[in-house]
């Protein structure tokens, strides 16, 4: 991120210090700036800073005016008549100090400060009394003064800058009040920004953002376009809390500027903000504030698409170029998922039971926002993420408090709906489209009434489901395999699971035999990639479904990625004309829906999985639901390849099977959309289709588990 | 042109000793010369036997026996018009001599890195003026170096010191008594910022002057008039006096032998007391720059937190005593007092290269001389000409850009001559003139037409003067580039070539010699086809050495070493 100096000649603004800041603060600000704008690398900025610094210092060197030095002429008279009244507060404290000692003096001092918190002499005295270097000790008085209406100034904070005093040494609530008191403008923006950076996010950030006026943002944006990264970030957050303000801002903010600087910086900002959180999560030390940070991080990220949609009304050409940018920023989008997964991992170990409510609130909020703003299809990513979070939460201890299946249903349902809408409309999804879907096609019992009814109906099944989930959470590896075996036995089969896996695989895939005799992951990969990776099967798959079917496209793409591990570069290979054709179609579809095509592929598969999962739950096929839940876990693990590279090789193989098994799902989706109950697959059908998947998923998970264990042993 | 991968080296081009270093992963590493020394004497000589130009220790040894065959202390004359040194039958400018030293340092660095080194930072005494700095830059250019920055020696020393100590806040003074110059520099360190607050100095006062004072004392005591000594004898005496000076730093007295090499010893005993008395005028001369520097930062001597002594001259007890008396505190001194400056230069080079390890450090420097223009003024009806009007005051933080408004003196004056000077004297012409240009097309009118003159002075030493006629907005700019003004590119090219021609016999280069020996050994050991191949490439290389350009030599060298490498597999004995 390249900083720029504010384009002003006001030395105080340039150095970002108060007009009455003391020499040390000014100097500190100066040093901080010239470390950024070095004489060697940025002489022009350096010169400006130097000039500003010198002009402030020269000003400071001018002798104080005559009035200030003039003593009160009639002091002596008053002293003569009434000594106690005439004493200044400071002298009174000093007198106490001399006569009764420090404690007594402090007592008096506190009283005096309470009476007049703005008397700066008292604080200096407090400084002196309590601790010559005791900033903390005195800060409460500063705060009182600040709350009493004193401006945030050097006079008050002594040797501390307002930023330090307010943001570091003072409690958050007070900081908020102080900030609120600051007039809108550059200084305030800076303080706000520093605050955000210092604290990541607290409850107060929401309050702060919600108090930002449209004017404040607009002014900053127009006056100082160099800071538009900040503005954009703020605006993104703002869009979450105050869509109307955001809309106003977007109308006045020149969109051209956005396309030039803002985007890259914005993602950089996100990255920077997320970094400490990721680190904390990896260290297993996620705090309350961190989890909230993630929430707002997300709000910011998905606020942006909202802004984009606002922009769409402003200038369609700009929208097109912004979309280009969005398509090129899949990394940034992925980053969020990484954050979620880090968080998820942390949560499976350490529950934050106090913070359970927000996920549901988030889902609701997303839905509400979607309705309110008239989402375009990019924004439906937010809904998709809600579903993702549903799964994530299902796997966390969080589920101990909120019934897991509820979340699962909710998340999967929302996602499924959006996805279905995408399939059907092939264009932007509006809230008006979503509403009938939600109302008329509620396959997952989304509305609370229906949900309640469904729960009642299926009450006796709930513990069973919870049991599955419990087991899944406990161990995603071998334990799950056992659970699946148990599940199978519940349904009809009680034979030894491992043996069945072996036999089945040997039958279905003779080339697997060597691997089964000597199970190494390499042998597995080698022997299976041949069988499963044939181009013919892919073509067959693709020919089964319509050209324009995004699910089919997505499946195909998934196949490309997982089986062949190809990437964009290979698409120009003349030997892969079939592939190129397919990929082009996926890309075309993605473009039409304004998605990044990789994301489309990913969500396509996940959508299909979750949808099937939902259907299974409704139909009461808990075993199948659990299976698809497993499949989803596997898929998301594969998707986070960078984080789980050692699984990736193993994952290639079963994914193909998974993909094949759910290739029937477009039919189901159609049925869902049409509300055609007759097409709903029977339990037996799904069992037949899932056999391979059950076996291979279990097998895979066992492999993963073994791998993990051996790694631990080493 | 420049290779951004190779580090920027820091060079201390000293009056008596030079050194180079670079900053590598948080530490300073010194570049050793062919004799494995860190310090290379700043001496250039022409070997009377081979007529080759030699530098460093060898030259110093040659010079010791025959002062006429070489030159030392040429740094003191650098930038002085018409200065030249004759060696044997040839004559060299101080710039050329400095270039020889820089060239040898560059070659040492290239040997260390195994790749071409082009970028460097060179230190100069803080009190060096424009011409001296420009001359130093030219020397760098001739030596094939791109001088990224000129750094003041006390600043460099302070960098090395300040970054070692790094307390929260510190005001300190650096006294740099080198071989030929004395610099005082008031510094402040605060929160990673190392600021030069003010500088002062004397360019003709250094350790060598103390040596001469000591010799004069000895000659006086022995009753020998200085004029009676031959040049050779005098050089020898100076060398001995230098040794005595060093002895006196540790012993209460020392003996100086004033006789010529072969003659009967003629000794005088010099006590430390006598010596310090003889040094007194020199010490007094040091006082003034110290005061100037303190005044420049509005400080008193007792407000200084630390006093740092830099430069070989500060090894003398009398200098340490001087500092202690003046600042009322014990001065600090680095163990490697000769290497402090080069260490700082290396760090400065790294700062320039944006080294990550120094992200939190920033160093600001000041202009050591005022820069301004000549003006006239009318005072009570009388016109005073030739007044110096500084635009950039001494001790202004650089890079900087300042402007001032001047006015025409006559009615209907249409031209204004801008003469740019550097210095501190009130009379403009008594300062050093850097150049002049004329502002034309000033609208006719009564006297007092305003012209704004802006001086922009950057870190790389480019001074740009821009004059703008305020009424028309028309402006004339004049750039005073260091190293470009006096000496055009072609002239530098010529000087470089001339130096190439004078360079020592390529055969004398250690790595060439080494390869020749290696190839000859291999030739003896091998037979048949191998032998023929070695012979072929050896011939090529030898003929290249005797006749060809450096490029061809290098090519032949590479070919031969490749063959050798293949044959002996890198196994050497």
> Following CA atoms B432, B434, B437, B443 in sequence, which dihedral angle do they give, to the nearest 10 degrees?
-60
DSSP codes of every residue in A659-698: HHHGGGHHHHHHHHHHT-GGGSPPHHHHHHHHHHHHHHHH
- CA separation for the pair B332, B324 (Å, rounded): 10
Contacts with A, B 372-431, CB within 8 Å: 397-401
- CA separation for the pair B121, B137 (Å, rounded): 10
One of B108, B153, B208, B209 is an active-site residue; which one?
Answer: B153
> Following CA atoms A675, A681, A683, A689 in sequence, which dihedral angle do they give, to the nearest 10 degrees?
-140
SS3 of B84-110: the string is CEEECCEEECHHHHHHHHHHHHHHHHH
The reply to whether residue A31 touches residue B360, judged by beta carbons under 8 angstroms, is no
Q: Which of A582, A599, A571 is nearest to A538 (CA)?
A: A582
Q: Name the residue in chain A with its Cα closest to that of B460.
A: A40
Lowest model confidence (mean pLDDT) among A45-54, A672-681, B437-446: A672-681
Q: Name the residue in chain B with its Cα closest to that of A51.
A: B400
**In a 3-state reduction of DSSP, which class is residue B20?**
strand
Catalytic annotation on B75?
yes
Residue B327: both structure tokens together = 């600042």
The reply to whether residue B399 touches residue A28, judged by beta carbons under 8 angstroms, is no
The reply to whether residue A31 touches residue B364, judged by beta carbons under 8 angstroms, is no
- CA separation for the pair A261, A229 (Å, rounded): 7
Q: Measuring CA to CA, how many Å separate A606 from each of A601, A631, B75?
A: 9, 9, 76
DSSP codes of every residue in A168-185: ISS-HHHHHHHHHHSPSS
Of A28, A39, A41, which is closest to B354 when you measure between CB atoms? A41
Catalytic annotation on B489?
no
Q: In angstroms, what separates the C-alpha of B363 from chain A's closest C-alpha?
A: 8
Of B190, B362, B398, which is closest to A38 when you measure between CB atoms? B362
Does B149 lie at the interface with A, CB-CB under 8 angstroms?
Answer: yes
Contact residues, chain B, for A46 at CB < 8 Å: 399
Q: Which of A193, A305, A292 is nearest to A239 (CA)?
A: A305
Contact residues, chain B, for A41 at CB < 8 Å: 354
Tell me what pLDDT residue B528 has.
67
The reply to whether residue B362 touches residue A47, judged by beta carbons under 8 angstroms, is no
Give me the phi and psi of B271, to 5 degrees please. Answer: -90, 160
Query: Which of the listed ranges A301-305, A500-504, A553-557, B280-284 does the model predict with the highest average pLDDT?
Result: B280-284
Does A28 lie at the interface with B, CB-CB under 8 angstroms?
Answer: yes
Of B193, B400, B459, which is closest to A34 when you measure between CB atoms? B193
Q: In angstroms, what separates the C-alpha of A592 from chain B's closest C-alpha?
A: 45
Q: In angstroms, what separates the C-alpha of B194 from chain A's closest C-alpha?
A: 10
Pairing of strands B397-398, B362-366: antiparallel
Peptide bond before residue B399 is cis, with ω within 30 degrees of 0:
yes
Does A34 lie at the interface with B, CB-CB under 8 angstroms?
Answer: yes
Q: In angstroms, what separates the C-alpha of A557 from chain B's closest C-alpha?
A: 43
Are the C-beta atoms of A146 and A152 separated by less than 8 Å?
yes
- CA separation for the pair B12, B158 (Å, rounded): 14
Give me the phi and psi of B66, to 5 degrees please. Answer: -140, 90
How many CA atoms, within 13 angstroms, populate the side-chain half-sphere of residue A636? 24
**pLDDT, tens digit only, all 573 positions of chain B:** 344 566 889 999 988 889 999 988 888 899 998 877 888 889 888 877 677 788 887 777 777 667 777 888 888 888 777 778 888 777 888 888 999 999 999 988 988 888 888 899 999 887 787 778 888 888 888 888 888 888 888 888 888 877 666 567 788 898 988 777 888 888 888 888 888 888 888 877 888 888 889 888 888 888 888 777 777 777 778 878 888 888 887 777 788 887 776 667 778 888 888 888 888 889 888 888 888 888 877 777 778 888 888 888 888 888 888 888 888 888 888 767 788 889 999 998 888 888 877 877 888 888 888 888 888 776 556 677 777 888 888 888 888 888 888 888 788 888 888 888 888 777 788 788 888 888 888 888 887 788 888 888 877 666 888 888 888 888 888 777 544 444 556 666 666 666 654 444 444 565 665 677 667 667 766 666 677 777 778 877 877 776 656 777 777 888 888 877 777 655 443
Catalytic annotation on B12?
yes
Contacts with B, A 123-162, CB within 8 Å: none
Q: Name the residue in chain B with its Cα closest to that of A43.
A: B399
Contact residues, chain B, for A55 at CB < 8 Å: none
Contact residues, chain B, for A26 at CB < 8 Å: none
Does B462 lie at the interface with A, CB-CB under 8 angstroms?
Answer: no
For chain A, how big is the Rg over CA atoms in Å?
32
Q: Name the residue in chain B with its Cα closest to that of A42.
A: B399
DSSP codes of every residue in B296-357: HTT--GGG-SEEEEESGGGGSHHHHHHHHHHHTSPPEE-TTTTTHHHHHHHHHHHHHTT-GG
Residue A57: both structure tokens together = 């210092």
For residue B150, what are the contacts with CB-CB under 8 A and spacing of at least 6? B121, B122, B123, B124, B133, B136, B137, B460, B461, B482
Q: Tell me the ipTM for this assembly.
A: 0.73
The reply to whether residue A39 touches residue B459, judged by beta carbons under 8 angstroms, is yes
Contacts with B, A 48-67, CB within 8 Å: 50, 54
Does B352 lie at the interface with A, CB-CB under 8 angstroms?
Answer: yes
Does A185 lie at the interface with B, CB-CB under 8 angstroms?
Answer: no
Are the C-beta atoms of B147 and B474 separated by less than 8 Å?
no
- CA separation for the pair A707, A457 (Å, rounded): 42
Tell me what pLDDT residue A182 has.
59
Query: Residue A712: which pLDDT band, with cuts at 50, 70 and 90?
Result: very low
Of B351, B354, B399, which is closest to A46 when you measure between CB atoms? B399
Are the C-beta atoms of B366 and B297 separated by less than 8 Å?
no
| Cβ-based neighbour number of residue B320 at 10 Å | 18
Q: What is the mean pLDDT of residues A102-125?
A: 68
Does A43 lie at the interface with B, CB-CB under 8 angstroms?
Answer: yes
Tell me what pLDDT residue A189 has.
53
Greatest alpha-carbon span in chain B: 99
Contact residues, chain A, for B190 at CB < 8 Å: 27, 31
- CA separation for the pair B338, B361 (Å, rounded): 24
The reply to whether residue B459 touches residue A40, judged by beta carbons under 8 angstroms, is yes
Contact residues, chain A, for B360 at CB < 8 Å: 35
Tell me what pLDDT residue A25 has.
82
Contact residues, chain A, for B362 at CB < 8 Å: 31, 34-35, 38-39
Query: Residue A517: which pLDDT band, with cuts at 50, 70 and 90?
Result: low
- CA separation for the pair A194, A188 (Å, rounded): 10
One of B108, B130, B148, B176 is an active-site residue; which one?
Answer: B176
Catalytic annotation on B306?
no
Contact residues, chain A, for B399 at CB < 8 Å: 39, 43, 46-47
Q: In angstroms, what separates the C-alpha of A643 from chain B's closest C-alpha?
A: 28
The per-residue b/e assignment along A420-459, b for 16 or more CB within 10 angstroms, e otherwise, is bbbbeeeebbbbebbeebbeebbbbbbeeeebeebbeebe
Of B190, B351, B352, which is closest to A31 when you measure between CB atoms? B190
pLDDT tens digit string along A472-482?
444 333 443 44
**In a 3-state reduction of DSSP, which class is residue B477?**
strand
Residue B222: both structure tokens together = 């022995």
- CA separation for the pair A167, B240 (Å, rounded): 67
Q: Does A400 have pLDDT greater than 50? A: no
Q: In angstroms, what separates the C-alpha of A69 from chain B's closest C-alpha?
A: 24
How many CA atoms, within 13 angstroms, populate the side-chain half-sphere of residue B7? 27
- CA separation for the pair B84, B98 (Å, rounded): 12
**Paired strand residues for B199:** B185
Bigger pLDDT: B568 or A203?
A: B568
Contact residues, chain B, for A38 at CB < 8 Å: 351, 362
Burial of B191: CB neighbours in 10 Å, binned 0-12, 13-18, 19+ = middle
Size of interface A-B (CB pairs under 8 A): 43
Of B191, B360, B364, which is closest to A39 when you measure between CB atoms? B364
């Amino acid at each position: 991120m390249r900083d720029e100096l504010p384009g002003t000649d006001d030395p105080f603004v340039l150095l970002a210090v108060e007009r009455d800041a003391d020499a040390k603060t000014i100097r500190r600000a100066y040093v901080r700036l010239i470390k950024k704008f070095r004489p060697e690398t940025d002489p022009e900025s350096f010169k400006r800073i130097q000039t500003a610094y010198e002009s402030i210092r020269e000003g400071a060197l001018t002798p104080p005016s005559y009035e200030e030095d003039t003593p009160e002429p009639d002091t002596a008279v008053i002293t003569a008549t009434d000594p106690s009244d005439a004493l200044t507060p400071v002298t009174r404290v000093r007198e106490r100090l001399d006569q009764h000692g420090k404690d007594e003096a402090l007592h008096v001092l506190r009283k005096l400060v309470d009476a007049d918190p703005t008397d700066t002499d008292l604080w200096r005295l407090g400084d002196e009394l309590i601790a010559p270097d005791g900033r903390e000790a005195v800060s409460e008085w500063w705060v009182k003064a600040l709350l009493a209406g004193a401006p945030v100034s050097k006079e008050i904070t002594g040797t501390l800058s307002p930023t330090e005093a307010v943001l570091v040494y003072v409690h958050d609530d007070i900081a908020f009040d102080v900030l609120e008191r600051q007039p809108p403008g550059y200084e305030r923006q800076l303080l706000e920004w520093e605050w955000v950076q210092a604290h990541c996010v607290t409850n107060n950030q929401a309050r702060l953002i919600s108090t930002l006026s449209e004017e404040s943002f607009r002014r900053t944006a127009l006056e100082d376009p160099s800071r538009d990264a900040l503005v954009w970030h703020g605006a993104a957050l703002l869009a979450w809390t105050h869509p109307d303000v955001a809309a106003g801002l977007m109308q006045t903010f020149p969109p051209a500027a956005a396309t030039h600087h803002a985007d890259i910086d914005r993602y950089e900002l996100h990255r920077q903000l997320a970094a400490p959180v990721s680190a904390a999560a990896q260290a297993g030390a996620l705090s309350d504030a961190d989890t909230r940070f993630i929430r707002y991080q997300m709000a910011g990220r998905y606020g942006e698409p909202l802004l984009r949609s606002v922009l769409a009304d402003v200038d369609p050409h700009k929208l097109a170029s912004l979309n280009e940018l969005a398509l090129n920023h899949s990394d940034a989008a992925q980053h969020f998922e990484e954050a979620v997964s880090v968080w998820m991992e942390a949560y499976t170990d350490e529950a934050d039971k106090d913070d359970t409510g927000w996920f549901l609130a988030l889902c609701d909020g997303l839905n509400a926002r979607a309705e309110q703003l008239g989402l375009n299809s990019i924004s439906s990513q937010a809904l998709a993420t809600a579903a993702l979070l549903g799964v994530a939460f299902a796997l966390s201890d969080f589920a101990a408090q909120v019934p897991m299946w509820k979340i699962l249903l909710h998340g999967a349902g929302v996602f499924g709906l959006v996805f279905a809408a995408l399939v059907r409309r092939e264009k932007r999804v509006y809230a008006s489209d979503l509403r009938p879907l939600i109302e008329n096609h509620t396959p997952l019992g989304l509305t609370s009434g229906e949900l309640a009814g469904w729960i009642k109906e299926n009450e006796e099944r709930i513990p069973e489901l919870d049991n599955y989930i419990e087991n899944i959470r406990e161990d995603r590896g071998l334990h799950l395999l056992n659970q699946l075996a148990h599940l199978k036995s519940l349904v009809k089969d009680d034979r030894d699971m491992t043996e069945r896996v072996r036999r089945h695989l040997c039958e279905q895939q003779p080339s697997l035999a060597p691997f089964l005799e000597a199970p190494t992951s390499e042998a597995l990969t080698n022997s299976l990639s041949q069988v499963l990776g044939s181009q013919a099967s892919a073509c067959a798959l693709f020919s089964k479904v319509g050209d324009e079917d995004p699910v089919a496209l997505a499946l195909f793409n998934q196949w490309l990625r997982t089986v062949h591990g190809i990437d964009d570069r290979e698409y120009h290979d003349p030997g892969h004309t079939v592939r190129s054709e397919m990929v082009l179609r996926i890309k075309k579809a993605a473009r039409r829906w304004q998605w990044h095509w990789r994301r489309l592929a990913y969500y396509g598969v996940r959508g299909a999985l979750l949808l099937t999962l939902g259907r299974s739950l409704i139909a009461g096929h808990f075993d199948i639901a659990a299976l698809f839940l497993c499949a989803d876990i596997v898929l998301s693990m594969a998707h986070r390849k960078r984080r789980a590279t050692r699984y990736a090789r193993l994952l290639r193989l079963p994914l193909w099977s998974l993909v094949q098994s759910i290739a029937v799902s477009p039919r189901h989706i159609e049925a869902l959309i049409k509300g055609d109950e007759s097409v709903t697959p029977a339990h037996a059908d799904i069992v037949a289709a899932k056999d391979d998947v059950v076996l291979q998923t279990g097998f895979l998970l066992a492999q993963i588990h073994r791998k993990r264990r051996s790694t631990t042993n080493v | 042109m420049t290779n951004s991968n190779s580090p920027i080296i820091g060079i201390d081009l000293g009056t008596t000793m030079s050194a180079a270093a670079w900053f590598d992963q948080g530490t300073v590493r010194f570049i050793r010369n062919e004799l494995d020394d860190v310090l290379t004497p700043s001496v250039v000589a022409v070997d009377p036997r081979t007529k080759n130009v030699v530098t460093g220790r060898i030259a110093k040894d040659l010079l010791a026996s025959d002062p006429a065959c070489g030159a030392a202390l040429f740094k003191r004359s650098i930038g002085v018009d018409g200065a030249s040194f004759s060696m044997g039958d040839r004559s060299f400018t101080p710039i050329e001599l400095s270039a020889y030293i820089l060239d040898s340092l560059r070659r040492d660095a290239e040997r260390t890195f195994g790749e071409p080194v082009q970028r460097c930072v060179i230190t100069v005494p803080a009190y060096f003026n424009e011409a001296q700095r420009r001359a130093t830059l030219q020397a760098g250019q001739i030596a094939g170096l791109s001088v990224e920055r000129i750094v003041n020696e006390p600043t460099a020393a302070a960098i090395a010191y300040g970054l070692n100590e790094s307390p929260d806040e510190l005001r300190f003074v650096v006294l740099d008594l080198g071989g030929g110059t004395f610099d005082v520099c008031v510094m402040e360190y605060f929160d990673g910022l190392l600021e030069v607050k003010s500088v002062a100095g004397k360019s003709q006062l250094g350790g060598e002057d103390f040596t001469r004072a000591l010799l004069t004392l000895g000659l006086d005591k022995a009753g020998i008039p200085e004029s009676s000594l031959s040049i050779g004898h005098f050089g020898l005496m100076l060398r001995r006096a230098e040794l005595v000076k060093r002895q006196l730093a540790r012993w209460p007295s020392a003996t100086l032998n004033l006789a010529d090499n072969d003659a009967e010893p003629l000794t005088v005993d010099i006590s430390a007391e006598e010596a310090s008395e003889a040094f007194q005028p020199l010490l007094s001369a040091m006082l003034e720059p110290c005061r100037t520097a303190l005044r420049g930062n509005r400080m008193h001597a007792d407000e200084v937190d630390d006093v740092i002594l830099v430069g070989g001259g500060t090894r003398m007890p009398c200098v340490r005593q001087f500092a202690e008396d003046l600042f009322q505190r014990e001065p600090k001194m680095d163990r490697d007092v000769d290497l402090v400056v080069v260490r700082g230069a290396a760090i400065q080079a790294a700062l320039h290269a944006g080294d990550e390890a120094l992200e939190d450090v920033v160093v600001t420097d000041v202009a050591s001389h005022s820069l301004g223009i000549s003006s006239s003024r009318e005072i009570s009806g009388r016109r005073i000409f030739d007044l110096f009007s500084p635009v950039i005051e001494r001790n202004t933080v650089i890079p900087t850009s300042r402007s001032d408004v001047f006015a025409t003196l006559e009615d209907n004056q249409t031209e204004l001559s801008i003469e740019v000077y550097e210095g501190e004297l009130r009379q403009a012409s008594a300062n050093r003139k850097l150049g002049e240009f004329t502002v034309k097309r000033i609208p006719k009118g009564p006297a007092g037409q305003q012209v704004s003159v802006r001086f922009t002075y950057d870190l790389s030493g480019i001074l740009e003067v821009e004059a703008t006629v305020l009424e028309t907005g028309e402006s004339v700019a004049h750039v005073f580039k260091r190293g470009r003004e006096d000496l055009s590119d072609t002239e530098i090219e010529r000087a470089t070539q001339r130096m190439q021609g004078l360079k020592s016999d390529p055969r004398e280069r250690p790595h060439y010699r080494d390869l020749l020996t290696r190839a000859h050994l291999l030739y003896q050991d091998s037979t048949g086809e191998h032998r023929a191949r070695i012979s072929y490439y050896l011939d090529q290389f030898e003929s290249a050495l005797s006749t060809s350009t450096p490029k061809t030599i290098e090519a032949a060298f590479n070919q031969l070493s490749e063959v050798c490498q293949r044959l002996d597999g890198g196994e050497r004995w």
